[in-house]
Chain A
């Protein structure tokens, strides 16, 4: 409202002027800016040009210096070569070797390392070529007419002469000649040494500076201005005087010392400034463009100014309309100035107080108007006019009190609202509120309701007007700010509330006045605010608010103590979660949709053994994978490929379970899945231990499986309904079923009747009652095999639980053999008992009869009874002995004394022992061919075997028959045979001939006095010796009982002498042996240390001993042409006598045994010992 006063005036000329000035200024400023810009560009270009030029000049100067140094060095170098030539030439001349070839050699050498020189030559005093670097035979060439020759000839102290470029006489190419005169010791001119330098050498060198290519020309110039070389080089330029090449150029020259030369660098300014000109054009374009742009901008701004101008005019019109409107409005309206004088009022205002209407002219004092208001205008309702006036003035002076209402005499209710203006004046508005008041009554009700709602909200709300007066609030504000009830009232100043708060200490400890001042400053602007404050009782109240559209501000207050508590609780829950997250044994991490790490726990780092710093926020999954791949966690290969193959993208989309063996040998398991909203989370567990455990379990399973498969007992598992669950290989063998044929079938299949049919019942009863009949015990039963046969088995059944299923495992052992053994044992006991009782019966009976004396009467009867008793006693003794024997032998309790036995000895012993027995049967014993070999065995027991077989043969031989004993070597076995001429073995008896008490005809027993155990004993003994026994028989044509025993030492192998290294001399050994295999064996064994001479007979042996001296003689006893003892006299005559070792399988006589150094048995052990003995013998000897 305050601004309306300003707008009340007419639009002034001043405002229009502002518009004109601003337009002009705009154009001026724009032009000025553009001008400054252009000037700056121009300045920049000028500086740039100078800089460019200076830089180029500096460079050119540098180049000139550099190239002058180069030219000087080159000339100097060529000069030094020339000096060398001169010195060498002097030497050659002194030696008289000035021929073309020698000079050529010298010049070629001098030309070396001189890239600038094309050729080097020497001319004689007449100017004729005598030496040339290019040819050993100098061409005919004369240079007496050349300047450089003349200078060298005519000026003894001329030094180096550099010619102008000349066309060479040889090829017409340009050349610069460097010449020095040659003088003899007396100073007489004898010739000139010339080096031909190519101008191209310099031109090429100058051309190699790319930096100045196109910008400059370089020339090497003689002191007289003649160009020697130039780049760029024009053909006609060389040899002519130097002239500028470029129309606008700068020259830089540098002297070449010490020669009278100079290097000129000609800088082409045009070329140099090409770039700069480009920049000028570019910047000119920029200036132009920017000018255009500014023009456009200025036009735009000008249009905006026009628009603003139009707005001003519109505003002025609006003001006029306001004035018009004011006079037309229903409300009365008056404005007073700071001195409370009326400025203007409308007609309505006049109508309000008819009695004062004529007074209401601008300039009239309000007090005058007031005094003019009389009771005739008003319905005072008993109030006197003075009081009414006071009340009115009071309202007017305290606008905060609201509208002043009064009733006019005509019954209309009027309300005057007073407001101060910005210049200290007042505005009064008078409204006829008669109708509004009626409506207000209705509104009040809804207002009460609204206030109730307002009060009912949890938040406190208050609103202050632009003067910071409270205009609205609810009860909750007082509650939340803990203000006394009713403390807030309409129109209350915010400052008052703040004062209260400051005094109470709401803004913290300290001086309340300072707090108050600060608060005032803070709330001075009705800005958006969002602050937390703590109420006196400690509740946290959030105050937030902002300006209202019509000025003033509104704030809401919310008690956020609980929210804060919840946040704190949430915070601690989060911390707890974090602690849990960090302390779980699994590593956990999460990646966002871009594969960037967003969360992980400490364990993850440990599980992955990640390098420090690898796991950090935002680290890409791929980067981490790469570290692992490089470390070898994904196996060998290119890390990039490995990571690509890991399919990290797939991981983000679907649940995954991966196992990975790391490079350090640990195994980890990664389990995870996508996160809602993208990305994925994985948990990584170190399952090394678990894996190890699994492997152990696996190994255990394999072991159990191996046991299950290889155990000899049949193992069958059945379930509760009798179905076979497992059937091991031993069970397959026992029952003849294959596992796949019986699995899942009922076990009664394997049980013999009657148990087969009853088996289901057994199982059912056990499951119902728990009564155990079989389980946990071992018992015998009869099983049924696949072919229907029955077999006795031991069965033990145990119950176990596997994953809630009750299973029964049965272990079955085939006991048919044991049963058979038991049967045999029973039978044996029965037979033995019978066999013992039989002679006992005779003995006891005879003795009983003798005792009675009944028989004494009859003659001879007593003697007969005594004889019966004695015969049977003897028989009983033999029987008992044999039974004890066989029991002991079979039980293995007889300790066999094993020793090498000569077969011959064995047979002799046995035959001799049985000769008398055989004679009793009138049978002749004959010894057949006996192999020369040994067996290893118990001598007495083998004699027993032979005795049993021989006596058996005798018993079954006819009178005057012959029993032949022979031993034949069959491979590594010795075949003993005892042949008789008896009736042979009856057919029906053959199967049990070696059984105990088995005799073909039991009457024989009486007749022959056998016990029926002999063959059985023989069989046992032979088998204990690792042999086998048998017979060959043709009925009626006798029988041959035989047994085989392994040859002792039969299979000998060559041995290697252990101490062969100690033998320093190769010895000579005589081996007297008729078996070539034994000879070869010993020869091989001694191959490294001795030469073996073999003698297969006594005759050969004698010959060898006569002809040669031997270190040792190895002797076999039985030879084809006699016994070894016949050689003893020969040995006696030898001096020195060789060592004598007997190596034989035969029996020794005392003579040889006494003479020999050692006797060894022909067996592997003997061979080893023999070889060692010979080694020692040879090692011991120290030859002279």
Chain B
């Protein structure tokens, strides 16, 4: 079982992107690739092929679930686990993301010190 190494994070909020990047790279020691929109992520992911994709839900033009659906269509990216990081974190909403096939859902505001560990824990629990 390999350790989680490369996380690709997609969010339209630049401030949060910055915080998350610091939390994952600076605190968690992970390699982080940042994207500011769904469209950018869809071009980046097939090349970067990260271990895990961290997706914001509410984004203009293309929201998180739409991006995930596109990834599932491409066999090359279909297997990459997706974790949602979202401020739309009411219980029912979180359940609906899991039903879409997400590995996990992390609510905003998140703890920057624990974010990397949370992702690593999810990574370990991912289905074979």
Interface residues of A (CB under 8 A from B): 829-830, 833-846, 848-849, 852, 854-855, 861, 864-865, 868, 871-872, 999, 1001-1003, 1006
**Cβ of B19 and Cβ of A1002 under 8 Å apart?**
no
Q: Do the beta carbons of B111 and A848 come within 8 Å of each other? A: yes
State whether B26 touches A855 (Cβ < 8 A). yes
Minimum C-beta distance from B92 to chain A (A): 9
Which of the residues B15, B58, B60, B113 comes within 8 Å of A834, measured between beta carbons?
A: B58
Which residue of chain A is the closest to B86 with respect to CB atoms? A834
Do the beta carbons of B19 and A837 come within 8 Å of each other? no
Name the A residues within 8 Å of B26 (CB-CB). Answer: 849, 854-855
Chain A residues contacting B27 (CB-CB under 8 Å) are 849, 852, 854
Interface residues on B, range: 20 to 34
Contacts of B61 in A (CB 8 A): 1001
Q: Tell me which residues across on chain A come within 8 A of B113, comparing CB atoms.
A: 848-849, 852
Residue from A836, A844, A849 within 8 A of B22 (CB atoms): A849
Q: Is B23 located at the chain interface by the 8 A CB criterion?
A: yes
Q: Which of B71-127 contact A (CB under 8 A)?
A: 86-90, 93, 107-113
Given contacts A833-B87, A837-B87, A1003-B12, contact A844 B109 (CB under 8 A): yes
On whether the beta carbons of A834 and B13 are closer than 8 Å, the reply is no
Contacts of B58 in A (CB 8 A): 834, 1002
* Cβ contact within 8 Å between B88 and A868: no
Residues of A within 8 A of B32 (CB): none
Whether B18 lies near A864 (C-beta < 8 A) is yes
The 10 A-B residue pairs whose C-beta atoms are closest, nearest first, are: A837-B87, A845-B19, A841-B109, A842-B15, A841-B108, A1002-B60, A844-B109, A834-B87, A845-B112, A834-B88
Whether B87 pairs with A842 at a CB distance below 8 angstroms is no
A848 touches B112 (CB 8 A): yes
Would you call B16 an interface residue if the criterion is a C-beta within 8 Å of the partner chain's C-beta atoms?
Answer: yes
B60 in complex: contacting residue of A838, A852, A1003, CB < 8 Å: A1003
CB distance from A827 to the nearest CB of B (A): 10
Whether A1006 contacts B13 by the Cβ 8 Å rule is yes
Q: List 18 A-B contacts (CB under 8 A).
A: A837-B89, A839-B15, A841-B19, A841-B108, A842-B16, A843-B109, A848-B112, A848-B113, A849-B22, A849-B112, A852-B27, A868-B15, A868-B19, A872-B15, A1001-B60, A1006-B12, A1006-B13, A1006-B14
Taking the closest CB of chain A, its distance from the CB of B38, in whole angstroms, is: 12
B4 CB within 8 Å of chain A: no
Min CB gap B96→A, angstroms:
11
Across-interface contacts of B19 in A (CB, < 8 A)? 841-842, 845-846, 849, 865, 868
A residues within 8 A CB of B13?
838, 841-842, 1006
Chain B residues in 8 Å Cβ range of A845: 16, 19-20, 22-23, 109-110, 112
Nearest residue in B to A851 (C-beta to C-beta)? B113
**Shortest distance in angstroms between A90's beta carbon and chain B's nearest beta carbon?**
147
In Å, the complex CA distance between A829 and B90 comes to 10
Chain B residues lying within 8 Å of A864, measured Cβ to Cβ, are: 18
The answer to whether B18 and A868 have CB atoms under 8 Å apart is yes
B59: interface (CB < 8 Å): yes
| Contact pick for B59, options A842, A844, A1002, CB 8 Å | A1002
> Which residues in B have their C-beta under 8 angstroms from that of A852?
27, 113
Given the complex of chains A and B, what is the CA–CA distance between A843 and B112 in angstroms? 11
Q: Chain B nearest CB: distance from A734 CB in Å?
A: 31
Q: How far apart are the CA atoms of A864 and B17 in the complex, in Å?
A: 13
**How many angstroms from the CA of A872 to the CA of B16 in the assembled complex?**
10
Assembly CA distance A844 to B20 (angstroms): 11
**Cα-based distance from A837 to B107 in the complex (angstroms):** 9
By a CB distance below 8 angstroms, the chain A residues around B22 are 845, 849, 855, 861, 865
Q: Which residue of B lies closest to A836 (CB)?
A: B87
Q: Which residues of B contact A846 (CB under 8 A)?
A: 15, 19
A865 surroundings in chain B (CB, below 8 A): 19, 22
| Complex alpha-carbon distance, A833 and B108, angstroms | 10
> What is the bound-complex CA distance between A830 and B88, given in angstroms?
6
By a CB distance below 8 angstroms, the chain B residues around A1006 are 12-14
Q: List the A residue with the shortest CB-CB distance to B19.
A: A845
Chain A's closest residue to B36 (CB) is A1003
A39–B60 Cα distance when bound, in Å, is: 156
- Give the distance in Å from the alpha carbon of A999 to the alpha carbon of B12 in the complex: 14
Q: Mark B1-39, 1 if CB is under 8 A from A, else 0.
A: 000000000001111101110110011000000001100
In the complex, the answer to whether A1002 meets B12 with C-beta atoms within 8 Å is yes
> Taking the nearest CB of chain A, how far is it from the CB of B77, in angstroms?
24
Query: Smallest Cβ distance from A921 to chain B, in angstroms?
Result: 19
* Nearest-CB residue, chain A, relative to B57: A834
A875 to chain B, nearest CB (A): 9
Cβ-defined contact, B87 with A841, below 8 A? yes
Given contacts A833-B87, A841-B19, A845-B109, 11 further A-B contacts (CB under 8 A): A834-B88, A839-B15, A841-B108, A844-B109, A845-B22, A848-B111, A849-B19, A852-B27, A861-B22, A1002-B58, A1006-B12
CA distance A341 to B14 in the complex (A): 185
Q: Nearest Cβ distance between residue B26 and chain A, in whole angstroms?
A: 6
> A842 to chain B: which residues have CB within 8 Å?
13, 15-16, 19
CB-CB < 8 A to B15: which residues of A? 839, 842, 846, 868, 871-872
Question: In the bound complex, what is the Cα–Cα distance between A1026 and B80 (angstroms)?
Answer: 56
A844 CA to B113 CA, complexed, in Å: 11
For B90, the chain A residues whose CB sits under 8 A away are: 829-830, 833
**CB pair B87 A838 closer than 8 Å:** yes
Assembled-state Cα–Cα distance A861/B23 (Å): 13
Using Cβ atoms and an 8 Å threshold, which residues of chain B touch A849?
Answer: 19, 22-23, 26-27, 112-113
A843 to chain B, nearest CB (A): 8
Residue of B nearest to A871 (CB): B15
Contact partner of B88 (CB less than 8 A), chosen from A833, A843, A871, A872, is A833
- Within the complex, what minimum Cβ distance (angstroms) separates A842 from chain B? 4
Please indicate the chain B residues that have their CB under 8 angstroms from the CB of A836 in the complex. Answer: 87
Residues of B within 8 A of A833 (CB): 87-90
Q: Which residues of A contact B16 (CB under 8 A)?
A: 838, 841-842, 845
Nearest-CB residue, chain A, relative to B56: A838
- Report whether A837 and B108 are in contact in the complex, using a CB–CB cutoff of 8 Å: yes
Cα separation A751 to B121 with both chains bound (whole Å): 51
Name the CB-closest residue of A to B108.
A841
List the B side residues contacting A840 at CB < 8 Å: 108-109
A999 to B59, CA, bound (A): 12
Chain A residues within an 8 Å CB radius of B87:
833-838, 841
Chain A residues in 8 Å Cβ range of B107: 837
A1011 → chain B, closest Cβ, in Å?
Answer: 14
The 0/1 profile, CB within 8 Å of A marked 1, for residues 42-62 of chain B is 000000000000000011110
Bound-state CA distance A852–B22 (Å) is: 12
**Best-surrounded residue of B16, B19, B26, B37 (most CB of chain A within 10 A):** B19
B85 CB → nearest A CB, Å: 9
Instruction: Please give the distance in Å from A1097's CB to the nearest CB on chain B.
Output: 58
A1003 to B39, CA, bound (A): 14
Bound together, the chains give a CA A836 to CA B87 distance in angstroms of 8
B1 to chain A, nearest CB (A): 28
A835 to B59, CA, bound (A): 12
* Min C-beta distance of A880 to chain B, whole Å: 15
In the bound complex, CA of A838 to CA of B110 (Å): 10
- Shortest CB-to-CB span from A867 to chain B, Å, is 9
Q: Shortest beta-carbon distance, B75 to chain A, in Å?
A: 31
In the complex, how many angstroms separate the beta carbon of B89 from the nearest chain A beta carbon? 7
Residues of A within 8 A of B20 (CB): 845
Report the minimum CB–CB distance from A868 to chain B (whole Å): 5
Q: Is the CB of B110 within 8 A of A841?
A: yes
Instruction: Please name the residue on chain B nearest to A1002 by beta carbon.
Output: B60
Q: Would A838 and B23 count as touching, CB distance under 8 A?
A: no
Neighbouring B residues of A838 by C-beta, 8 Å: 13, 16, 87, 108
CA of A842 to CA of B109 in the docked complex: distance in angstroms? 8
B2 to chain A, nearest CB (A): 26
Q: What's the Cα separation between A864 and B26 when bound, in Å?
A: 15
Q: How far is the CB of A1013 from chain B (nearest CB, A)?
A: 16
Contacts of A1003 in B (CB 8 A): 12, 36-37, 60
A1040 vs B36: C-alpha distance when bound (angstroms)? 31
A1126 CB to nearest chain B CB (Å): 59
